[in-house]
A and B are shown apart, each in its own frame.
Chain A
Amino acid sequence: MTALPKKLYFFYRDGFRSMVVGKTLWKIIAIKLFIMFAVLKLFFFPNHLARNFNTEQERAGHVLENITRPASAR
């Protein structure tokens, strides 16, 4: 390891090791990010247009179809 990356590595390593409240906070962040990305995003928040249409043209056509019809006909 060269000097600067080594220094940076130890800077972050020692910083994380010396945390007190931070350890609890990192656990909360990890759980939160897991719930958000591995559960919510994956299973409950698909991108409607990306999932249902293959090309940009199809997506544009679908949106145009939606906005040129009244709500009841969508």
Chain B
Amino acid sequence: MAGARHFAATTHKEDIVEDQLLTTVDWARAQFALTAMYHWIFVPLTLGLSFLIAFFESIYVKTGNEEWKKLTKFWMTLFGINFAIGVATGIILEFQFGTNWSNYSWMVGDIFGAPLAIEGIFAFFIEATFFAVMFFGWHRVSKGFHLFSTWMVAIGSNLSAVWILVANGWMQFPIGMNFNPDTARFEMQNFWEVALSPVAVHKFTHTTSSAFLLAALFVVGISALFLLQERHQKMAKRSMVVAAVFGFIASIFVAFTGDEAAFSVAQRQPMKLAAMEGLYVGQEKAPIIAMGIINSSKKPGDDLPAFYQEVKIPGLLSLLANRDPNSFVPGINDLVFGNAERNIIGAEQRMVTGKIALAELARYKYAKDTGDDGESAAALAIFDQHKGDLGYGYLNNPAEAAPPVATTFYSFHIMVVLGTLFPVIFLLVLYFAYKGTLEYQRWLNLACFFSIFLGYVAQQAGWVVAEVGRQPWAIQGLLPVGMASTNIAASNVQTTFFMFLTLFTALLIAEIRIIMKQIKIGPEA
């Protein structure tokens, strides 16, 4: 039991250096969040606008009307600007894996290697061929082949998003793998289980449909600006109608996929769902909080109220989580401390199992290093029985299994409220377009323009729910974020954090300036 003793003997030191370690991990997390959030400013517009351009060009090819061509080329220019500024911003995330998250990077290499390689190859071929035809081929290839290329860019861009979302889905719901204690790696056992994981499927459908919605808001908003400025009104109204129809359909799809994603979260990450709704004590007929001011002092297990003020819709959370308005939805307290009556094993009990798994893994390693085959086989047998809760073994307190509730709750509610507002805006645009008075609705055009910003807020809020809501885990239940990181000096990560902040802010400013210049020039360019 030497390895286990070693593990136990060193735990008392944790508090002494915890703050120091948290600093490094926190900076690494902040850097990753910053990079991912900036990256996600560029990506959804690429995913959605590519389809809108394909629609515009399809109308041009069908009607032969040159004004639709001019309109297509205008939006294609804005698409090109966004693509050029955003391209390769995601690679920085991969830099960070090797430097800041080396344990994690090593452990998931076998799972992520294939999907990310497929993504890279796929994106390269799409971009090098069809992208070039789309931009350079207007007078050099037939109308039909040009349109085909535009559709291929739209489909290809969206398909290349599959693999990174598969990787993210696996982190939220790790399946199709086995942990190899000799290589310290999660090794893929079943590719299709990983690729077609329900979490990955829901992530892809919800993420891409929300990207369509954002692009529709972008086109509607920029077109509304033209109407406000009384410029290019015919083009603006045409763009708005197509984008509003696309945006409205996308909104319905976002709601549907969002509901499916929430159902999936309820089954596989119940703690995240409880945090999304600020539900501390599990209950039957659990309500959705339509509006609420959360009590940020509240901790799992205490008697403080969860909300200062709230407006509830009874039974709706139960319906969302289990498709039954009378069903029981576990709260944070149930998931932290357990609930024997409901047969829920809490983090407190899982910590015991996890610490056994960790101690046996340490014993296995020690036995292997010393060549004791009997001891290593015995340790491995016990480890295999307990490895499902491996990650809980790293927690010092069961309450650490709960994510930051206020951030998750507010982000979720901001996303839902905005997601409800957008289809109303699209319907109003279509109504006034039908009445032929769209250009006179100054208030609506202003609302459309500001909705571009709100669309980005909703996008970012969605990712905050997904990523903050799964804390403390890098890999759900198996590896907490703190153990995923590299033991390097906090100052290194701090330095690069500010470098990225500067680089990405410069890119964002460049994007906005170039796009605004193009809008000023308009479709005549």
Contact = CB atoms under 8 A, between A and B. Distances in A.
A74 interface: yes
Given A28-B84, A67-B184, A70-B7, A40 B496 contact: yes
Interface residues of B, number: 60
A26 B499 contact: no
Interface stretch (B13-21, B194-202, B450-458): B13-21
Q: For the complex, would chain B's binding face be called helix, strand, loop or mixed by DSSP majority?
A: helix
Contacts of A14: 136, 140
Contacts of B10: 69-70, 72-73
A21 B507 contact: no
Contact of B77 (A21, A40, A56): A21
A35 B503 contact: yes
A63 B107 contact: yes
Interface residues of A, number: 43
Contacts of B105: 49
Nearest to A39: B499
A32 to B, nearest CB: 7
Q: Which of A21, A56, A69, A73 has the most CB of B within 10 A?
A: A21
B91 interface: yes
B176 interface: no
B84 A25 contact: yes
A18 interface: yes
A52 to B, nearest CB: 9
A66 B483 contact: yes
B374 interface: no
A12 B132 CA distance: 8
A21 B103 contact: no
B84 A67 contact: no
Contact of A26 (B84, B107, B482, B518): B84
Given A40-B499, A45-B98, 6 more contacts: A18-B136, A25-B81, A25-B514, A65-B365, A66-B487, A73-B10
Q: Would you list the 7 A-B pairs with minimal beta carbon distance, nearest first? A: A15-B136, A47-B98, A25-B84, A68-B362, A45-B95, A48-B102, A72-B13
Interface of B: 3, 6-7, 10-11, 13-14, 16-18, 21, 77, 80-81, 84-85, 87-88, 91-92, 95-96, 98-99, 102-103, 105-107, 132, 135-137, 140, 181-185, 358, 361-362, 365, 394, 479, 482-483, 486-488, 492, 495-496, 499, 503, 507, 510, 514, 518, 525
